[in-house]
Structure 1
Amino acid sequence: MTAVDVARGVSRLLLRHDYVALCEVPLGNGRRADLMAVDARGRIIIVEIKCSRADLLGDGKWRDYLDYCDRFFWAVPQGFDLSPFETEAFSPDFAGLIVADRYDAAIAREAAETSVPAPRRKAATLDFARRAARRLLGLTDPECESLG
Structure 2
Amino acid sequence: DVYYRDMYGAEVFAPGKASNNPELPVDHVIDDDTILPIRRSRVFTFRNTAEPEAALLVGDLLITSESLQDQKHNHFVNMPVRTAMKLGGYHDTSVVISPRWRRQMEKKLPLQDDFVRLLRLEFHRLIGASGALVSNHAKEETVKAADIAFPLM
TM-score by length of structure 1 reads: 0.23
Query: Of Structure 1 and Structure 2, which has the larger fraction of its residues in helix?
Result: 1
Structure with a larger share of its residues in strand: 1
TM-score (norm 2): 0.22
